[in-house]
């Protein structure tokens, strides 16, 4: 593997990381601030993809699709909260895990009933369907949009969390829940806001990923588990941790997938290397997470106190 290829793979890794960040940002907020385990986050990602794809396919405008996702996800978050989540905030993690697990089943089947089991058609917007020449290798233009959007969202989240009053309340909620209530802030409203923000981020992630990934029922679960690994490595409740953790996971996963089989082929015979390589690459992320948890359980970039 030469230098150019390695750099390209790192870029690929960062792009995957940015996609993961969009998912992780919402989840880490909900996890950290509301202390709420939401396994249905993957389903929110899926709903965003389908709603966005539907609007995009009927109006042929990608921008409209993206914009439509925001109110749709807010509405969905509102309904979910009123019906289910409101009663779960005070319950322990186990009950939350179970109830949201049930929601996953429900949403997957709902999508399947409406759109069928086959993948749903969604294409890249024609303006971005070309390639850009990077280091002599053509790179899909749309992926650069994903990187750009991810960075924009990261910046937006940073500004929101660290430069606005609401952000200050959110940060306070992450460090000292009880205190905020005692100071007279409307906790319920804050919770709804955070949950809504998380849902919108997840939905946008789904919409942006739609053109490059298969839009189908059950598309959320593989991303969900990876997202949970990201926020644990990064530090629960920390947006910075979600961003850096996502980049780390993305790069390691991508480079590992391409580097490991090549390295193994040098050591073992071809057949073994070709089957062990991908398996080991998958294990790499979990090994990393276990190491981080064993040595620094609060994560690599935890929420800074004080």
Partner 1 sequence: MLTPSPSSPIVHAAAVVPAASRRPTFYTLFVMLLLAGLALVPTYAALSGQAFYVTLFARIVVFAIAAVSLDLILGIGGLVSFGHALYLGLGAYAAGVLAQHGIDNGWVHLGVAIVLCGAVGFVTGFVSLRTTGIAFIMITLAFAQMVYFLAVSLKQYGGDDGLPLAASSRFGNMSLGDPATLYYVAFGFLCLLLLSGSRFVKARFGMTLAGIRMNERRMKALGVPTLQYKLGAYVIAAILCGIAGVLYANLTQFVSPSYMSWTTSGELIMMVVIGGIGTFVGPVVGALAMVLVEEGLKSATEHWMFIMGPLIVLIVLLTRRGLMGVVHSADARRAAKIAAKIAARSKRTESLS
Partner 2 sequence: MVASLNFRALHGRLGCALILATSAALAPLVSQAADATPLKIGFIGTLSGPAGALGQDQYDAFMLAIEQKGGKLGGVPVQVVREDDQLKPDIAVQAAQKLIERDKVQIVTGVTFSNVMMAIHKPITNAGVLLIGSNAGPTPLAGAGCSPWFFSTSWNNDELHEAGGQLATDLGYKRMVVMAPNYQAGRDAVAGFKRDYRGTLVDEVYTQVNQPDYSAEITQLQASQPDAVYVFYPGGMGVNFVKQYQQAGLLGKVPLISVSTIDGTTLPALKEIAVGAITSSPYSPDLKNAENAQFVAAYSQKYKRLPSLYAAQSYDAANLLDAALTTVKGNATDRQALRQAIKTAKFQSVRGDFSFDTNQFPRAGFYRVDVVKAATGAAFETKGPIVAKIRNPLAQQCKMN
CB of 279 to partner 1, least distance (A): 3
* Residue 133 Ramachandran class (φ > 0 left, ψ -120 to 50 alpha, else beta): beta
CB of 162 to partner 2, least distance (A): 31
Q: Which of partner 1, partner 2, none binds 143 (CB below 5-8 Å, type-dependent)?
A: partner 2
Q: Which of partner 2, partner 1, none binds 156 (CB below 5-8 Å, type-dependent)?
A: none
Q: Which residues pair with 138 in a beta bridge?
A: 133
Among 155, 278, 290, 296, which residue interacts with partner 2 (rule: CB under 8 A)? 278
Q: Is 64 in the site for partner 1 (CB under 8 A)?
A: no
Among 59, 118, 164, 272, which residue interacts with partner 2 (rule: CB under 8 A)? 118
Q: Is 130 in the site for partner 2 (CB under 8 A)?
A: yes
Q: Is 92 in the site for partner 2 (CB under 8 A)?
A: no
User: Is residue 66 within 8 Å of 204, Cβ to Cβ?
Assistant: yes
Phi/psi of residue 185, nearest 5 degrees: -85, 145
User: Is residue 141 within 8 Å of 128, Cβ to Cβ?
Assistant: yes
How many other C-beta atoms lie within 10 A of the C-beta of residue 96?
Answer: 20
DSSP state of 139: E
For partner 2, the closer CB: 102 or 117: 117
CB of 31 to partner 2, least distance (A): 23
Among 7, 75, 82, 113, which residue interacts with partner 1 (rule: CB under 8 A)? 113
Q: Is 183 in the site for partner 1 (CB under 8 A)?
A: no
* The pair of three-digit structure tokens given for residue 106, joined into one six-digit string: 């429900």
**SS3 (DSSP) at 90:** coil
């Amino acid at each position: 593997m030469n230098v150019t290829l390695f750099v390209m793979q790192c870029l690929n890794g960062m792009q995957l990381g940015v996609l993961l960040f969009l998912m992780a940002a919402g989840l880490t907020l909900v996890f950290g601030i509301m202390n709420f385990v939401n396994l249905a986050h993957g389903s929110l990602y899926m709903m965003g993809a389908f709603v966005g794809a539907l609007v995009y396919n009927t109006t042929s405008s990608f921008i409209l699709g993206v914009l439509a996702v925001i109110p749709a996800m807010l509405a969905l978050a509102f309904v979910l909260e009123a019906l289910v989540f409101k009663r779960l905030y005070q319950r322990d993690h186990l009950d939350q895990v179970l109830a949201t697990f049930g929601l996953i089943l429900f949403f997957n089947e709902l999508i399947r009933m409406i759109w069928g089991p086959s993948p749903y058609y969604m294409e890249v917007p024609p303006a971005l369907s070309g390639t850009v020449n990077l280091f002599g290798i053509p790179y899909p233009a749309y992926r650069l949009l994903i990187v750009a959007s991810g960075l924009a969202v990261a910046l937006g989240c940073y500004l929101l969390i660290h430069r606005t009053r609401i952000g200050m309340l959110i940060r306070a909620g992450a460090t000292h829940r009880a205190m905020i209530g005692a100071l007279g802030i409307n906790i319920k409203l804050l919770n709804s806001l955070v949950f809504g923000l998380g849902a919108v981020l997840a939905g946008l992630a789904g919409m942006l990923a739609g053109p490059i990934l298969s839009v189908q029922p059950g598309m959320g679960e593989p991303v969900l588990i990876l997202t949970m690994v990201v926020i644990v490595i990064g530090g629960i409740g920390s947006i910075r941790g979600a961003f850096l953790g996502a980049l780390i996971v993305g790069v390691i996963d991508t480079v590992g997938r391409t580097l490991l089989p090549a390295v193994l082929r040098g050591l073992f015979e071809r057949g073994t290397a070709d089957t062990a390589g991908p398996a080991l690459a998958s294990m790499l992320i979990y090994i990393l997470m276990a190491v981080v948890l064993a040595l620094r359980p609060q994560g690599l970039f935890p929420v800074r106190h004080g």
